Amino acid sequence: MIKINSIKELKTLREKSKDLLINRTEENDEVKKIKEGIDILVCGGTGCQASESNDVIQVLKTELEASGLKDKVKIITTGCFGFCEKGPILKLMPENIFYIEVNPEKAKRIFKEHVLGGKIIDEYLYQDPITNESLHRQNDIPFYKKQMRIALRNCGLIDPENINEYIAEEGYKALGMVLTEMTPANTIEEIKKSGLRGRGGGGFPTGLKWEMTKKSKSEIKYIICNADEGDPGAFMDRSILEGDPHSVIEAMAIGGYCIGASKGFVYIRAEYPLAIHRLRIAIKQAYESGLLGKDILGSSFSFDITLKYGAGAFICGEETALINSMEGGRGEPTVKPPFPSQVGLWKKPTNINNVETLANICPILLKGSEWFSSIGTEKSKGTKVFALAGKINNVGLVEVPMGTTLREIIYELGGGINNNKEFKAVQTGGPSGGCIPKQHLDTPIDYESLTKIGSMMGSGGMIIMDESDCMVNISKFYLEFSVDESCGRCTACRIGNKRLLEILKDITDGNGTMEHLEGLKDLGAIIKDSSLCGLGQTSPNPVLSTMNFFWDEYVAHVKDKVCPAGVCTSLLKYHINTEKCIGCTACSKVCPVNAISGSVKQPHLVDKEKCIKCGACEATCKFKAITRK
């Protein structure tokens, strides 16, 4: 590893390193003339690794070894491409051919027929669901068309374990510019003017937070990257760290320079082994290159980074609980003020930003605050990364400008609801967010708009639900999570949420009353107003938002003792349609309690008193004669 001692040496290395990425630029005739060889990019994110991408890479390496083309073909393991539904993904550059759902057998054929023979294999490409046309290039696929990748700019493009590839993509250029051409004050002013707000959930202005920490008087200060991503279904921060760890390291160093900190920590959950592995490599390479440590790039600025591991407590995503955890205490929040920017880690001023927030810092400084603030809405600038999950065709990560509507994300990028079912709701903001119904699908995604309709931006989880979901049961699911993850410090959250959950259980068990519904509203409002931290203050959101938008479902559970979606087991009643039943006896044979009776070739009946509602009969019936109501 070459140690870089000055801005001049960094520029020289960048120019040399550009050859590493020459085959990964957008294709045009001028560039085509100077390109030599092929780069095979294979997704090496956690999701694709779980779907044989490591085996795909091994097959490609074996084929390459046998071909004798090592000087012409490179196999690059990248971070996540985002299109997780279609992984593992393999991309051939410079042709920019985008292969999906690649397994070892497909990889072998791609190498033999495309890499060696020049033949594109159409059946391995993405098929447009409307035209059935095979789409060759990434940006032609609907999933990518409306995306604008800033935080995810290098994910799927570079080898995250090669610092030179990051440097070739203007890596550490922003740090060099800040250290030689800017002061901490005007760097912070640029971040303030950009309008960047925290992407971890609170949406606090990033530049203002840096400024507050800078103004706090202390010889020792700290900067922390909060990588404790705990929302169910969220994997934005993990993907950035797996695919572009240096973008976070560089931004932390810039933040340290601005606030007067020489020490940084990445607080990351231990359940992210691949992100930790790549962070360790990136930090080691940054030290060896002189981009961390003493007198960075020949300046007088020194900065160190250490990893700290979390044990998976959701509450430790909250700043003060995170600090308590890092100090070796219980992960409990404390009363604010004082804020961490005044009294933080080991009682020293501390700036805390999440991964996605930091991933936006370098592009802002390199392209300017005006560029960034021109993207998005009046009060929500830039882009936001969302993790699409649930009942949607295109599960994965998307990054779109603020102000993009829910409808655009779900139907254009997400490809609509799977199994041709009807959209029912989308839950944004993790377990503390609200459930948004179809009448609000045209709501623009920004902090204020989501808050107005009872939800929140959160860190970017987006769970899509269809007609088969029961909204009462959904609110119970999220509340169970909040109860389990509560630190128990304040009464409102510790006791109040348990009472809320008990009421919801009564309702889904068929023991609910109209008084219970009023109790949910009143208690939810009290918990929101009196809890100590954000977890407690927002935990009733799923309950209150579903009651607001799906009131009829709650009433049906309470008055009619029916679950309209057929989900709440205690309220189910199995019924055999005598016109469809042919008396095959398959259902009676699998019933564990002998609740089904009837003669061979005669319609059967369900004894509702005996029935334990296990669903075995419905699953066994080939004639769809058994339904639940």
Q: Whose CA is closest to 243, among 235, 253, 251?
A: 235
**For position 353, which CATH number holds?**
3.40.50.11540
Q: Do 170 and 255 lie in a common domain?
A: yes
Domain holding 617, by residue range, is: 572-628
Q: Verify that 180 and 69 share a domain, yes or no.
A: no
Q: Point out which residues pair with 309 in neighbouring strands.
A: 268
pLDDT, residue 34, reads 47
Report yes or no on 1 lying in a domain: no
Across the chain, what does the average pLDDT equal?
A: 93
Give pLDDT tens digits for 493-507.
999 999 999 999 999
Q: What is the DSSP string of 383-448?
A: EEEEEEEESBSS-EEEEEETT-BHHIIIIIIS-SBGGGPPEEEEEESGGGS-EEEGGGTT-B-SHH
pLDDT score recorded for residue 536: 86
Do the strands 304-310 and 126-127 form a parallel or antiparallel pair, or are they unpaired?
Answer: unpaired
Query: In the predicted model, is pLDDT for residue 137 greater than 70?
Result: yes
Domain count, the chain: 5
More confident residue, 103 or 492: 103
For 31-46, what is the mean pLDDT?
79
pLDDT score for 31: 46
Q: What is the DSSP string of 323-356?
A: HHHHTTS------SSSPTTTS-GGGS-EEEEEHH
Residue 11 is which amino acid?
A: K
**What mean pLDDT do residues 488-493 have?**
88
- With respect to residue 27, please indicate whether it lies within any of the assigned structural domains: no
pLDDT band at 593; cut points 50, 70, 90: very high
User: pTM score, two decimals?
Assistant: 0.92
Q: What is the DSSP letter of 203?
A: -
End-to-end CA distance of the chain: 67
369 pLDDT higher than 90: yes
Whether the pLDDT of residue 30 is over 60: the answer is: no
Closest CA to 356 of 393, 332, 387, 329: 387
Which pLDDT does position 247 carry in this prediction?
A: 98
CA distance 79 to 286: 19
pLDDT tens digits along 312-360: 888 888 899 999 999 999 999 998 899 999 999 999 999 999 999 999 9
Burial tier of 198 (Cβ tally within 10 Å: 0-12, 13-18, 19+): buried
428: left (phi over 0), alpha (psi -120 to 50) or beta: beta
**Residue 109's CATH number:** 3.40.30.10
pLDDT the model gives residue 26:
62
Q: In this predicted structure, what is the pLDDT of residue 27? A: 54
CA distance 124 to 136: 10
Q: What is the pLDDT of residues 56-70, one digit of tens each?
A: 999 999 999 999 899
Q: Which of 346, 372, 398 is the last residue of a domain?
A: 372
Alpha helices by DSSP H, listed for 20-71, are: 29-34, 46-49, 53-67
- Of 10, 8, 11, 38, whose CA–CA distance to 22 is shortest? 38
Which residues have C-beta within 8 Å of that of residue 529, sequence separation ≥ 6?
537
Q: Considering the domain boundaries, does residue 13 fall inside one?
A: no
What pLDDT, on the 0 to 100 scale, is given for residue 35? 55
Which of 71, 103, 138 terminates a domain? The answer is: 138
- Based on the domain organization, do 305 and 257 belong to the same domain? yes
CA distance 508 to 557: 7
Give me the pLDDT at residue 287, please. Answer: 98
Highest mean pLDDT among 259-263, 538-542, 580-584, 607-611: 259-263
Does some domain include residue 392? yes
Confidence of residue 487 (pLDDT cuts 50, 70, 90): confident
- For 91, the 3-state DSSP assignment is strand
* Cα separations in angstroms, 458 against 99, 201, 259, 443: 33, 4, 26, 16
